[in-house]
Homo-oligomer: A and B are copies of this chain.
Amino acid sequence: MCFTSPVRTGELFDLLRDGRPWTRAQLAEVTGLARSTVTTRIDTLIRLGLVAPYGGARSTGGRPPALFALNPSAKLVVGVDIGATHARAALTDLDGKILGEADAQIEVAAGPEQVLGWVVDTVRDLVAASNRQITDLAAIGIGLPGPVEHSTGRPINPPIMPGWDRYDVPGHLRAVYPVPVLVDNDVNIMALGERRAHLRDVDDLVLIKVATGIGAGIVSGGVLQRGARGTAGDLGHVRVRRADDVLCRCGNTGCLEAVAAGPALAAAVREQGEDAKTGGDVVDLVRGGSLVAMAVVRQAGRDIGEVVASMTNLINPSVVVIGGQLAGAGEHLLAGIRESVYQRSLPLATEHLRIVTSRAGGEAAVLGASALAIEHVLSPDVVEAACEALAAADAAAEAARS
């Protein structure tokens, strides 16, 4: 029944997760454990490297207490973002601080062997470049541009990833690096990245990625929402009025993506005489001051806003973050979205709703992938298991010595 230890080491560690330093006395008070008990537990956490002394605190008239805090540099984590035509990886510490990055122009359509081969090489290089050991690697997080069954880490019927269907991504990497591998949809990953970057205490947020396609990553109640088949957040093919007669690449008509994603915007701009091939060109035009492009982007914002308004009523997030390539058009896109949302949503749902642009930008995905991995590594259960393993090793050493 475990009455003797109502608070487990993992839970004690959870208190240190916020990064702020604690004294032993504080921990003892909060957990209800004796100070001596806290000492022994902190010791094991220090031996694991997860916790480190954090200077000393000011004395309050007597011996100054020792402070302890999460040691972000104890372990390494790699966050990987696989896009349609590019790949990016970031080596981070346990605080999500980037220690090294790598880019590559690589087609996801080249297949899993080639892409994951790049990942394997890059992980090794990044770790070496920052003068750390590969044994410090604690986990790998990966975002893929398609539906992923998160529990198994396998892509499910991904439209733009030939050869990846049900491929065992974690298995491939674990064959080289014996660490947990967490895989998820790239938009979900971006949502986690934005949350990590500037919305740490927001439990209900939606990230909308506007690029070649349009998708959403939904965090609700602090948990990433993946849906029954791992395809939650598919905003792109929701019906909007202005797209009624527009054919979408999915074969249907009326899809948001058909009027508000990158290719559609470029086409709209061209129709009005300006030159643009991709969504990126449109963003450049907006930045260059093109009134035509601004109007087009703003209208796209209104279209997206129509869907965001529905979503606000359905999911009731407290923050909506706009990311992806088109977020580069900044306020113009946002203004259109806000226009629709505040017109269409219920007051109660929008009262405290914030609609903002991405701050993590192009790094949102790798940061999110890293965050996913960190979340796993620092979870109470995993920490608990690590402590247990250390104790078992101690016991074995003790037995061998006698």
What residues of B have a CB within 8 angstroms of the CB of A363 in the complex? none
Q: Mask for A1-19, Cβ within 8 A of B = 1, else 0?
A: 1111110110000000000
Q: Which among B9, B252, B345, B352 is the interface contact of A344 at CB below 8 angstroms?
A: B252
Residue pair B5, A9 in contact (C-beta under 8 Å): no
What residues of B have a CB within 8 angstroms of the CB of A230 in the complex? 316
Residue pair A314, B3 in contact (C-beta under 8 Å): no
Listed residue (A235, A237, A315, A388) with the most chain B CB atoms within 10 angstroms of its CB: A315
Residue A398 at the B interface, CB < 8 A? Answer: no
Assembled-state Cα–Cα distance A346/B232 (Å): 11
Residue A48 at the B interface, CB < 8 A? Answer: no
Residue A24 at the B interface, CB < 8 A? Answer: no
Residue pair A232, B316 in contact (C-beta under 8 Å): yes
Assembled-state Cα–Cα distance A237/B347 (Å): 11
Residue A223 at the B interface, CB < 8 A? Answer: yes
What residues of B have a CB within 8 angstroms of the CB of A384 in the complex? 1
What residues of B have a CB within 8 angstroms of the CB of A9 in the complex? 1-2
Residue A226 at the B interface, CB < 8 A? Answer: yes
Segment of A60-68, A99-107, A122-130, A303-311 engaged in the interface with chain B: A303-311
Assembled-state Cα–Cα distance A208/B235 (Å): 20
Residue pair A241, B241 in contact (C-beta under 8 Å): yes
Assembled-state Cα–Cα distance A238/B227 (Å): 21
Residue A147 at the B interface, CB < 8 A? Answer: yes
Residue pair B391, A1 in contact (C-beta under 8 Å): yes
Residue A204 at the B interface, CB < 8 A? Answer: yes
Assembled-state Cα–Cα distance A1/B8 (Å): 5
Residue pair B310, A231 in contact (C-beta under 8 Å): no
Assembled-state Cα–Cα distance A241/B317 (Å): 24
Segment of A51-59, A172-180, A213-221, A331-339 engaged in the interface with chain B: A213-221
Residue pair B314, A216 in contact (C-beta under 8 Å): yes
Residue pair B226, A221 in contact (C-beta under 8 Å): yes
Residue pair B204, A314 in contact (C-beta under 8 Å): no
Within 8 A of B (CB), among A205-245: 216, 218, 220-221, 223, 225-235, 237-239, 241
Residue pair B235, A317 in contact (C-beta under 8 Å): no
Residue pair B317, A227 in contact (C-beta under 8 Å): yes
What residues of B have a CB within 8 angstroms of the CB of A309 in the complex? 238-239
Assembled-state Cα–Cα distance A351/B229 (Å): 9
What residues of B have a CB within 8 angstroms of the CB of A345 in the complex? 237
What residues of B have a CB within 8 angstroms of the CB of A6 in the complex? 388
Residue A35 at the B interface, CB < 8 A? Answer: no
Residue pair B314, A315 in contact (C-beta under 8 Å): yes
Give chain B nearest CB distance to A347 CB in angstroms: 9
Assembled-state Cα–Cα distance A220/B3 (Å): 34
Assembled-state Cα–Cα distance A226/B231 (Å): 20
Residue A274 at the B interface, CB < 8 A? Answer: no
Residue pair A349, B315 in contact (C-beta under 8 Å): no
Residue A318 at the B interface, CB < 8 A? Answer: yes
Residue pair A3, B234 in contact (C-beta under 8 Å): no
Residue pair B314, A228 in contact (C-beta under 8 Å): no
What residues of B have a CB within 8 angstroms of the CB of A239 in the complex? 306, 309-310, 344
Give chain B nearest CB distance to A354 CB in angstroms: 10
Assembled-state Cα–Cα distance A41/B349 (Å): 47
What residues of B have a CB within 8 angstroms of the CB of A316 in the complex? 226-234
What residues of B have a CB within 8 angstroms of the CB of A228 in the complex? 203-204, 316-318, 352
Residue on B nearest A2 in the bound complex, by CB: B5
What residues of B have a CB within 8 angstroms of the CB of A317 in the complex? 227-228
18 sample A-B contacts, Cβ–Cβ < 8 Å, listed by A number: A1-B9, A1-B41, A2-B4, A3-B388, A204-B227, A218-B314, A218-B315, A220-B225, A220-B232, A225-B225, A226-B316, A227-B317, A228-B352, A229-B349, A234-B313, A237-B345, A307-B310, A314-B315
